[in-house]
Amino acid sequence: MSMYNWYQRARARAESFLPDLDPELEVDVDEDTINPYDGGDEYETFVLVFSHPSNPRLSWTMAVKPEEEFIDKELEEVVRRIYFQRVE
């Protein structure tokens, strides 16, 4: 599976639990260009982008492990932990 497909799968998984967490919280996939400080070649990577229309503290980006175990069992816990840290 390509990295893009892993991130699309993670986005779909997040969309399944976000309405219960906060109906206004949104998630999307974005592609970023990384320019290493050590002079290495730049490369493209993906991130999940979480955003909230009325609370800028609830906006963040997140990398995911491209593994079924992480997406199916750990992603929700990680997102909830980040969300509640930012709400406080």
Q: What is the pLDDT of residue 53?
A: 96
Torsion, Cα of 52, 6, 45, 40 (10° steps): 150
CA distance 71 to 63: 11
Grade residue 39 by pLDDT with cuts at 50, 70 and 90: confident
Summarised one tens digit per residue, pLDDT across range 49-73 is 999 999 999 999 999 999 999 999 9
Q: What is the pLDDT of residue 29?
A: 98
pTM of the model: 0.88
**H or E segment and range at residue 81:** helix 75-87
Where along the chain do its domains lie?
Answer: 3-87
Summarised one tens digit per residue, pLDDT across range 3-13 is 999 999 999 99
Q: Is 10 exposed, middle or buried (0-12, 13-18, 19+ CB in 10 A)?
A: buried
Positive or negative, the CA dihedral 58, 19, 28, 81 is positive
